[in-house]
Structure 1
Amino acid sequence: MPGFRTLVWLIQLSFTSAAVLEERSRGSHDADAVFRPVGLAVGTGYSSQTSTVKTFKLNAASSFATIDYGAERAGWPFFDVLKVDRPLQIEIKYSETFPDLQLSSSDGPYPFNVGQANTFRVETFNITKAGRYSSFLLQGGQRWQSIQLLTDGAITFRNVGLEASITTVEPEKLPGKFSSSDDVLNEIWNLGARGTIASCVDEGSQRAVWEVDSKMGVHITNLRPAQTTKAIGFESYTLEFDAFIERGGIWWSVAHSFGILGGFHLQLVGELPSATTFVNTNKTLTPANTISLAKGYAFVNQTSVTSYLLDTFKVPFSVKEKTWYRIKTVLDPKGFLSVSINAKLVFKATLTNYYSGGGSISQSGSFGFGAWQDHAAYFRNVVVTDTANGSTLYTNSLKHQKVLAEYGTGENLASVCLDGPKRDRLVWLGDFYHTSRIIGASTGRFDHSTGTFDFLLKSQIENGQLSISPNLGYDPSIASAFAPTGSYFLEDYQPLGFLSFYHYIRHTNDVAYARKTWNQWEKQLNWLLGKISSTDGLVHFGSAFLGGADAGSAVSCVSAETLYAAADIATTIGKKAAAAKFRESANALADAINDQLWNDATGTYGLSTSDQSAFTVAGTAFCLTSGIASKKQVASAISALDDLQLGFGYKDSSNDDPETTDLNISPNTNGFLLPAILAAEDWERASELIYGVWGAMLANPETNTGASWEYITPQGEPGLGAYTSLGHPWGGAATYILTEWVAGLRTADGVEGFGYKNWILSPDLGFHMGLKHASATVPLFPSGQISVHWEIKKNGQMLVEVRAPKSLKGVFKLGKTKKTLQGKSKYRFTV
């Protein structure tokens, strides 16, 4: 419609920008704090075939630019406009993969939580003059970006980039290092390192996502509703507030949980005047002068973030932009939900008439405020009353900075590691298992480890459990209020979280931190002991990510491994009674596991006492790494893995139907399995798994982010489609495995190995892979390092070189060769 486009640009001078403020200052963008693209393509559509980045122009003949940052990046997008011939509009998309960049919503949106980041992966800019433009909200993780010219005109860009929200250090510059004669392995090591770089953030580095004005209230754009912590237990209430549509409409929620259940979402869309409405506005999803009602997380469904669009109601008058309205939402005890604007009823709905995934319709939970893609609005003067008796429950002007803490929309409160940079921007307890070990092998940011533990420990509730996923912007000490709605529901995340702490202590021997936090860890461990049945001696959880929650092998074996680890830490900090208690409990649990869960017929550990014929990757992994299995059982269980083979790796359970179209391979659980395979000295199987699962992440240039993935399909593609996190440290276990088993540098077993006081150089896996050479450097705590290098010379001998602090003792082992290394800072010898 060229006539319409011409009309649009003639009247665009009245625009303000959608998800941004034009030429918003975001700092100097110096080279140390900026990610710049490595490739650019300009043409009539998307193209992954990019070349040198330079000044570029978009016009009617070439309206698309595809930008490649080369690897997983994160930050606030900005661009410099060198020249523009008239007011025009551009649409910018962000994505981890190139194929997903071409979707209408790119690889978003992500309404799972606020996460101090843009909920959307698409935003539109109105360009009226030359200068710098930048996004107010950050993109947490991306490799690809596109810019499309939407209206008539021509625009010339000089600079495009991301003001970094994470460190800009590259893997090869980290304190921890790995290299070998195989470039594929070198890139595989980088996967976990880069995933951790992208996911671990410094305190205050993730900026506030609400702006507060002392007169207008809070300004919100491109963000799912953030919930107040002051209304967690509210039920059947009436919410009133003032709203001012700057562009598009407003988004608010009621009866919303802080856990995994979502809530009711409402979106009022204004009249969408042509003078201020972007030409790419989806008027089917957001029709003018309507209120949409949804249940779940948003108004569109995306993989596991389920949403149900329940209804759309016509507003009986035109809703103007830049006009204040009083919005009233009533949750009636009889099951009605109604909305009025300026005391005029728009709709009254019977909630039981709608399907939203089955189960009961709850009217309990908090409320919050947000704005849809390219929408912007102000909110103020909130009042909540009890619908039944009219008593006042809550008031807030939303005109003071304190609202940021209450709604979890301020800057991040601690240096922590997130589940992933773009989507699950939460501090997941169990998912830190691999990240904790990757930090020790690569970034050496032990402050990120202790920061994460401190954040999680603040969420401890009376029974000893820690929140499994505290939010980035909320004070985690309020997490006990989240407990009824799911933030403690995966009970096996408690032992997985403790094992993350154990691996930190094993690497660092940070005795002071262990002593400082021990009372809280012991409280968690005592909770765990309470989950061991006095009847059968096995662990009984209510729910478990690893499967087999009730008397299962995975939950029982990971608990046994946790108790053995706890005994070691208790020993090293002088808690002899606690050490004896935990070791005795672990031994008893081990006996019960071998007595009741080992299945001679299948030659492995059964899923649970109620399903002995099935078995799992996680059960096999932890029953072997915990030391519970005998040598004969280890060999048998590893051999049984053949029945779990799926594509490049292993499916989670023998119960999983390989013909199921959505069946995926988990680098997380396959990562648990790797040490078990190596302990069995099955070098060929370990090599195949590393090259298979982690090699698949590198195979396709259009999906390779240079970081580890969350899931992969049996065919080697991202496992949850566009929803998949491709910067997920939980998928990066190969990073520390390559350091520990290919280069061969790892701590000795038990307390004697804590802090590398005793270390091992045993490059069996690297030798059996046929490598010509391998090197690794491991950062020590609080300072120092150990560096190793070995290479196979032409005469068939292995030359070994080591640099380590004199105070540490090492042993070189390869096959039957064993050599003690002690009393020197440098070692050089041949084998």
Structure 2
Amino acid sequence: MAKHLDFTIPGSLPRPLYQNHAFGRDEIPEHLLPTKIHSTSGSVTSADALLTRSLTETLVLTRTSALASTPSVIADFGFAVAGIPFIHVSAIDAPGGSVVVDFAVSEGYPGIKLDDGDGPYPFSAGADTSRKARFRINHIGYHDAKYIQGSQRWMKITLVSPGPCSVTIALAGFLPATSNVPVDRLPGQFECSDSSLNELWGYGARTIQLNCAPVRTIPPPWQVSEDMGILVDSQRCNSYGWGGSWTDYEAEFDAMVIEGGLAWTVRQGGGMPSILFQLVTNEKATVTEMWWGYYNKQQTTLVPVLLASAEISTLVGQNEWYRIKTRCVGEEPFVISINGTEVATFKQGNVKAEGMSLIAVSVTNSNYPYVPKGSVGIGAGADQVCRFRNMLVRSVPSQQVLYASGLNTPAVLSDFGVGWNQFPFIFDGAKRDRYPWAADIITGGKTLYYSTAGSEYVRGNIVASMLRCKASKKTPGLLPGGAPPGTDFNRSGDSMFTILSVNYSLYLILVIYDYWMFTGDNDLLRLCWERIEGCLEYCKQKLNEDNLIHVMGMDAGDYDYYNGLQQGVSTKRNALYVAVLRACSKMADSEAIRDPLTAAALQSFADAVAKAIVDKCYNPSNGYFNITDTRTTGFQQETHAWLLRLDIVPPELKKKILPHFASLCTASHNSAPLSFSPNTTNPSPPPVISPIMSAIHVDAAVHAGDEHSTVEKYLRRVWEPMMDKDSEHFTGTTWEFLTAQGKPYKGDFCSYAQLFSCGPTWLLSAHVLGVAPLKPGFEQYRVWPKLRLAGVSWARGTVPTPVGPIDVAWEEKREGWRLSIKAPRGLDGVVVVPDEVWDRKKEIIVGAADVNGTKELEVGRDGVLEVTVTF
């Protein structure tokens, strides 16, 4: 009997804590506490008490006078965590018996040195707008913040009350909002002989954990009471969902300042910055301010701009109700009145812009957008606490009531899209945007399937988008790029909560296809199909005479907003279109849809579009493909990755294309590829290392047969800065984007736990371990460890499937190569022996016998196979 090589892989994989749920059934939530005290400032006693769970060991912060420095402590959790901030107070010593304690957070260390942490982040209501929770403490015991902080390694506790005062704290940390199962106990697992790659796989899995929000776990940013209306504490304005088409109107409401002031918006468009009014109060004056932006606190991008301000002659006091009215008519100045008296007028903008073009406007206090229509929103600015009730919006001049509400029942949360999340969601970034964007799941979804197996989160995103979509073959339209997490899906027809573009629609279809392949969920495919057909019909209407999509403006929007819109005929967009047509062909031919004629037509048209891309988008003088029909200088990483991955590039061009990727690596700190070559013009994009583009690039390079050593350089060098445990930016998660110097791009604004960047987890499981589905739900699968990395002599792991795990292990040593597989019974599997192994073989042993034949070997229906290739 033939004898297999012995495995010499040390130890064994830990047993998964759970199999199929992203929040483990046996996972007991417990307070997340810091693991290390980094530093203290001012009068701080026994800071190490925060590292224990004991209520008898305590930290004391003391401020002897108003002139004394504010005492604070910075604590380190070791890696990024998520949850609702809490503290346990054991004693208060202060005049009046109350103190104010700030609890600031940051992903990277630079942000925690700032008073407000690394925020604010006002784009979405999916978490706290501020990165600082303010505790106003007047009793001992537990104190919880109102909102989630989605991702942070660092915490700073500061006593901000003027002295003399002190506060004694036993515990400070987070009530967990996401799963914290150790990454080596997840349903999906990966391990190899290179420990750094094992850690990288885990960083992607941890990123997925932080971004998965179970149903009804995201608290609304407003608290509603029957007699006192809405309470808002430092949270961005949120707008009424059915006011996006309002033009001329008067909006009024009762408002109460509890601390600092209040905020409201007019003519606000879905997802876009807008005119923002602030009422700022103190003991000496009341000022009305007009801003452009989302919030009144500086941030790195979408920077708010103070346009004008006016002091009000009558002082607005705290804890009193005032009636505030704003009139906006045509291009006339905004008129603000309080209790029936006009207090301020502000001229409207001079730049005509709408939709995504608003983001591109260079705003100053003399040059800012005029927005002709949009809704009304209410909220607060930084360190402001306020209440609202009795809102009334009337059109001008007809005085028709557009909206009326006492703002005192839970239904108002649905009116403004800020309720509890009705579906489990997977977000783009745990800190920001906290939005279920479709594009991010292109890489994040695959990483989820290979690690946490929490497919219900991807399903939640897809269903939410489908419920907000009215497209069909008869009424062509785009698919939503995502849905605000607080949306009430029992309602429909809103004009505020949908952002549409061709690329995001194409991404969503690919996300649906991947979900179907990994889960076999035919029910979801049936739910989506009519909308998908409507989107395909819309894209068909955007074809030019060459059968290539040509779009402008908002239709051309993409996730790399910082690189500018790719308007006109974008090569990347049309490559995505080919991918979608092929995916839809397979879905149409499935048991769920059963439309073979449509399947054949889609496949044929995909071939025609692919040919048109080669004929019309390839630039022979450059030796690569154009970015768009008007941007012909510069090599784009992602465009060519998609072209290679989809085999659009014919074999004779492939050898010409692959060397051009080296031009991306000439201007970065460690030769990691930039998104565009440095010579790119019209316009010249910023030098950015994009992990999502690089993940697609690595996948394409493996598929195209690029040199293993070249692919390995891309993989290691892009993610190398995130793996540096000595870096002040290390979080044990993966970052959104990087500068050419390997730092987080846009500083603290950068999301350090971002789906864009978790691709290595999927890539290692799919190409080094080698497992991938060939038919929906792994009904047929393949094991092909085709990416060879230096120093990796063995790998083992588990890939979750809907019917149970697939366990794979392989090892290569001097005398040969061995692979072992154990899969669920009843599946069809195939093992592909890597070329480099096959080329060295002397004999091959399969099961209990020597065999001859090809390098592709069938796995029996019992799911068990042992293969040895001797050298």
> Compared with structure 1, are the counterparts of its residues 623 and 828 closer, same or farther at alpha carbon in structure 2 (3 Å cutoff)?
same
- 1:171 and 2:183 matched: yes
From 404, 419, 431, give the equivalent of 1:410.
419
Q: How does 1:8-157 map to 2 (within 5 A)?
A: 32-44=29-41, 53-54=51-52, 55=57, 56-60=59-63, 63-86=71-94, 87-115=98-126, 117-150=127-160, 151-152=162-163, 153-157=165-169
**Residues of 1 paired with 2:629 and 2:526: CA distance?**
38
Q: Which residue of 1 aligns with 2:718?
A: 693
TM-superposition CA deviations, 1:167-191 (whole Å, max 9, x none) = 2223222111111121211121122
The structural deviation recorded for 1:479 is: 7.4
TM-superposition CA deviations, 1:472-493 (whole Å, max 9, x none) = 112368776448x9711x3211
Q: Which residue of 2 aligns with 1:623?
A: 643
For 1:100, the aligned partner's letter is G
The structural deviation recorded for 1:247 is: 1.6
Q: Which residue of 2 aligns with 1:672?
A: 696
Q: Which residue of 1 aligns with 2:487?
A: 474
> Compared with structure 1, are the counterparts of its residues 356 and 198 closer, same or farther at alpha carbon in structure 2 (3 Å cutoff)?
farther
Conservation of the 8 A alpha-carbon contact between 1:558 and 1:626: no
From 162, 172, 178, give the equivalent of 1:160.
172
Q: How does 1:302-317 map to 2 (within 5 A)?
A: 302-317=299-314
TM-superposition CA deviations, 1:546-576 (whole Å, max 9, x none) = 7644222111111111111111222223220
TM-superposition CA deviations, 1:35-91 (whole Å, max 9, x none) = 2222223522799x9998134333359922112222222211001112333343322
> Compared with structure 1, are the counterparts of its residues 786 and 672 closer, same or farther at alpha carbon in structure 2 (3 Å cutoff)?
same
Q: How does 1:149-228 map to 2 (within 5 A)?
A: 149-150=159-160, 151-152=162-163, 153-228=165-240
Conservation of the 8 A alpha-carbon contact between 1:434 and 1:500: no
**Residues of 2 paired with 1:50 and 1:813: CA distance?**
55
Q: Which residue of 2 aligns with 1:756?
A: 778
Q: Which residue of 1 aligns with 2:23?
A: none
Conservation of the 8 A alpha-carbon contact between 2:82 and 2:210: yes
TM-superposition CA deviations, 1:584-641 (whole Å, max 9, x none) = 1101001111112223333322223334443311210111111212233223212111
- 1:577 and 2:597 matched: yes
**3-state SS of the aligned residue for 2:482?**
coil
Conservation of the 8 A alpha-carbon contact between 2:34 and 2:50: no
**Residues of 2 paired with 1:325 and 1:454: CA distance?**
42
> Compared with structure 1, are the counterparts of its residues 820 and 232 closer, same or farther at alpha carbon in structure 2 (3 Å cutoff)?
same
Percent of aligned pairs with the same amino acid = 26
> Structure 1: where are the runs of 5+ without partners?
1-29, 273-286
- 1:829 and 2:867 matched: yes
- 1:820 and 2:857 matched: yes
TM-score for both structures, normalised by structure 1:
0.88
Conservation of the 8 A alpha-carbon contact between 2:82 and 2:152: yes
Conservation of the 8 A alpha-carbon contact between 1:335 and 1:352: no
**Residues of 2 paired with 1:502 and 1:241: CA distance?**
47
For 1:169, the aligned partner's letter is V
- 1:388 and 2:397 matched: yes
Conservation of the 8 A alpha-carbon contact between 2:736 and 2:756: yes
Q: Which residue of 1 aligns with 2:569?
A: 551
> Compared with structure 1, are the counterparts of its residues 62 and 226 closer, same or farther at alpha carbon in structure 2 (3 Å cutoff)?
closer
Conservation of the 8 A alpha-carbon contact between 2:193 and 2:791: no
Q: Which residue of 2 aligns with 1:650?
A: 673
**Residues of 1 paired with 2:823 and 2:43: CA distance?**
51
From 724, 747, 763, give the equivalent of 1:721.
747
The structural deviation recorded for 1:105 is: 3.0
Q: How does 1:802-813 map to 2 (within 5 A)?
A: 802-808=821-827, 809-813=829-833
For 2:91, the aligned partner's letter is K
**Residues of 2 paired with 1:71 and 1:36: CA distance?**
11
Conservation of the 8 A alpha-carbon contact between 1:599 and 1:613: no
TM-score for both structures, normalised by structure 2:
0.84
Q: Which residue of 2 aligns with 1:499?
A: 510
Conservation of the 8 A alpha-carbon contact between 1:245 and 1:322: yes
> Structure 2: where are the runs of 5+ without partners?
1-26, 64-68, 351-362, 839-854
> Compared with structure 1, are the counterparts of its residues 496 and 656 closer, same or farther at alpha carbon in structure 2 (3 Å cutoff)?
farther
TM-superposition CA deviations, 1:415-449 (whole Å, max 9, x none) = 12111122212221222211221121111111112
The structural deviation recorded for 1:310 is: 0.9
The structural deviation recorded for 1:121 is: 0.9
The structural deviation recorded for 1:398 is: 0.8
The structural deviation recorded for 1:334 is: 4.5
> Compared with structure 1, are the counterparts of its residues 589 and 434 closer, same or farther at alpha carbon in structure 2 (3 Å cutoff)?
same
Conservation of the 8 A alpha-carbon contact between 1:139 and 1:422: yes
The structural deviation recorded for 1:207 is: 1.7
> Compared with structure 1, are the counterparts of its residues 604 and 337 closer, same or farther at alpha carbon in structure 2 (3 Å cutoff)?
same
For 1:822, the aligned partner's letter is V
From 294, 298, 310, give the equivalent of 1:297.
294
Conservation of the 8 A alpha-carbon contact between 2:331 and 2:348: no
**Residues of 1 paired with 2:324 and 2:566: CA distance?**
48
**3-state SS of the aligned residue for 1:167?**
coil
**Residues of 2 paired with 1:308 and 1:160: CA distance?**
35
**3-state SS of the aligned residue for 1:74?**
strand
From 694, 700, 712, give the equivalent of 2:738.
712
**Residues of 1 paired with 2:608 and 2:204: CA distance?**
36
Q: Which residue of 1 aligns with 2:12?
A: none
For 2:141, the aligned partner's letter is G
**3-state SS of the aligned residue for 1:175?**
coil
Q: How does 1:198-277 map to 2 (within 5 A)?
A: 198-260=210-272, 262-272=273-283
The structural deviation recorded for 1:722 is: 1.0
> Compared with structure 1, are the counterparts of its residues 486 and 821 closer, same or farther at alpha carbon in structure 2 (3 Å cutoff)?
closer
Worse overlay, 325-334 or 582-591: 325-334
Conservation of the 8 A alpha-carbon contact between 1:42 and 1:62: no
Q: Which residue of 2 aligns with 1:431?
A: 440
**Residues of 2 paired with 1:90 and 1:193: CA distance?**
34
Conservation of the 8 A alpha-carbon contact between 1:293 and 1:310: yes
**3-state SS of the aligned residue for 1:467?**
coil
**Residues of 2 paired with 1:447 and 1:208: CA distance?**
22
For 2:601, the aligned partner's letter is K
> Compared with structure 1, are the counterparts of its residues 532 and 351 closer, same or farther at alpha carbon in structure 2 (3 Å cutoff)?
closer
**Residues of 1 paired with 2:688 and 2:557: CA distance?**
18
**3-state SS of the aligned residue for 1:518?**
helix
> Compared with structure 1, are the counterparts of its residues 360 and 208 closer, same or farther at alpha carbon in structure 2 (3 Å cutoff)?
closer
**Residues of 1 paired with 2:30 and 2:413: CA distance?**
26
**3-state SS of the aligned residue for 1:799?**
strand
For 2:38, the aligned partner's letter is A
Conservation of the 8 A alpha-carbon contact between 2:389 and 2:408: yes
Q: Which residue of 1 aligns with 2:66?
A: none
- 1:563 and 2:569 matched: no
Conservation of the 8 A alpha-carbon contact between 2:83 and 2:178: yes
**Residues of 1 paired with 2:698 and 2:493: CA distance?**
36
**Residues of 2 paired with 1:698 and 1:492: CA distance?**
31
Q: Which residue of 1 aligns with 2:758?
A: 732
**Residues of 2 paired with 1:633 and 1:330: CA distance?**
61
> Compared with structure 1, are the counterparts of its residues 124 and 814 closer, same or farther at alpha carbon in structure 2 (3 Å cutoff)?
same
RMSD: 2.7
Conservation of the 8 A alpha-carbon contact between 2:191 and 2:795: yes
